[in-house]
A and B are shown apart, each in its own frame.
Chain A
């Protein structure tokens, strides 16, 4: 009789509580900002970054190629002057650029080169170089679906991590830098 009661009521109750626990765990992660449901995981992580060969926003003959970055880790920051969140992000990039020891390359996405130059002239330029992608073809190769987005690319040209939304010093320290250290495995 007791064993029967256990089977009929205890195990279903345990199952319901376990399910409840899983839901609470996921909700807590969403509440703490640890899990963003609108973030779509990138299939590029761990793969070679798509090649970039684009003019820069300077508007002259100069081009930016991702091949020129091989041998050192770098950040690719997708932005545009039409993007309010990029304006929010800009001071953080200015703060990070001189101290993180990793060059930040901008990808000016679906923008006007003159607007982009004005933006950097008035707000400051945190970028090592800014590639200009007015049609968004390179952004599609990177699976970009909004701005800002930031990719961490390793010395070997592999995508180590992607950060969706405005980057902050804290996000660099907690989300991106650990991936860089893990990929380096101690080597300089």
Chain B
């Protein structure tokens, strides 16, 4: 009997499409641009070369790193990175070389501490705020019965007892 097998196959089709899509996505994300004159053989330098390239924005094609881009400028910048690695420059020196010329925008990982800390600070701030509201409400629920004339009282009765206003 062919029919049940075929129906099983049909049921799996949407999933295989998703899997294929995911496979293609990763395939394209990992394809690196290759330079003909790239003669970097030292495995340590090669690893550093690839990780630095993945941090540098290709400025012509602003949503790619210079590791991915086939743009002429990306090629030139990779050549500079190779030259500096072979000359014994540190990763920090190479990054500085780039930001001295192209500004912080060339770095995919921002240097500004504010940018790195902001999500954590905002999340903590939000949690503290929610916590305070919850504590206030549960306290006023316990102490004061809601005033049926004040439509706002049901939402925020706590400001009265704690503020001492009104």
A140 to B77, CA, bound (A): 8
* Binary A-proximity of B31-51 (CB < 8 A = 1, otherwise 0): 000000000000000000000
Decide if A40 touches B59 in the complex (CB within 8 Å): yes
Question: Secondary structure of the B side of the interface?
Answer: helix
Decide if B159 touches A4 in the complex (CB within 8 Å): yes
By a CB distance below 8 angstroms, the chain A residues around B77 are 140
Q: Min CB distance, A111 to chain B, in Å? A: 11
Decide if B102 touches A43 in the complex (CB within 8 Å): yes
A16 to B148, CA, bound (A): 31
Interface residues contributed by chain B, number (CB under 8 Å): 21
* Binary A-proximity of B45-83 (CB < 8 A = 1, otherwise 0): 000000000000001101000000000110011001000
Q: Min CB distance, A81 to chain B, in Å? A: 14
By a CB distance below 8 angstroms, the chain B residues around A74 are none
* Binary A-proximity of B91-121 (CB < 8 A = 1, otherwise 0): 0000000011111110000000000000000
Q: Min CB distance, B49 to chain A, in Å? A: 17
Decide if A43 touches B152 in the complex (CB within 8 Å): no
* Interface window among A18-26, A97-105, A142-150: A142-150
By a CB distance below 8 angstroms, the chain B residues around A38 are 62
Question: Secondary structure of the A side of the interface?
Answer: loop
Decide if B103 touches A43 in the complex (CB within 8 Å): yes
Among residues 89 to 146 in chain A, which have CB atoms less than 8 Å away from a CB atom of chain B?
Answer: 110, 135-137, 139-143, 145-146
Q: Which of A1, A40, A44 contacts B105 (CB 8 A)?
A: A40
Q: Which of B62, B72, B101 contacts A143 (CB 8 A)?
A: B101
Q: Given the known A-B contacts A40-B102, A140-B80, are A145 and B60 also in contact in the complex, defined by CB atoms under 8 Å?
A: yes
A4 to B150, CA, bound (A): 12
Q: Which of A1, A136, A143 contacts B102 (CB 8 A)?
A: A143
Q: Which of A5, A41, A110 contacts B103 (CB 8 A)?
A: A41
A42 within 8 A of B: yes
A4 to B147, CA, bound (A): 15
For the complex of A and B, the 4 pairs showing the least CB-CB separation, nearest first, are: A145-B59, A143-B101, A43-B103, A136-B76
List B residues at the A interface (Cβ < 8 Å). Answer: 59-60, 62, 72-73, 76-77, 80, 99-105, 150, 152, 156, 159, 165-166
List 20 A-B residue pairs with CB atoms under 8 Å apart, sorted by A's residue number: A1-B152, A4-B152, A4-B159, A4-B166, A8-B152, A41-B105, A43-B100, A43-B103, A44-B101, A110-B72, A135-B76, A136-B72, A137-B76, A137-B80, A140-B77, A140-B101, A143-B102, A145-B73, A146-B59, A146-B73
Given contacts A5-B152, A43-B99, A44-B101, 5 further A-B contacts (CB under 8 A): A1-B166, A40-B103, A43-B102, A136-B72, A143-B103
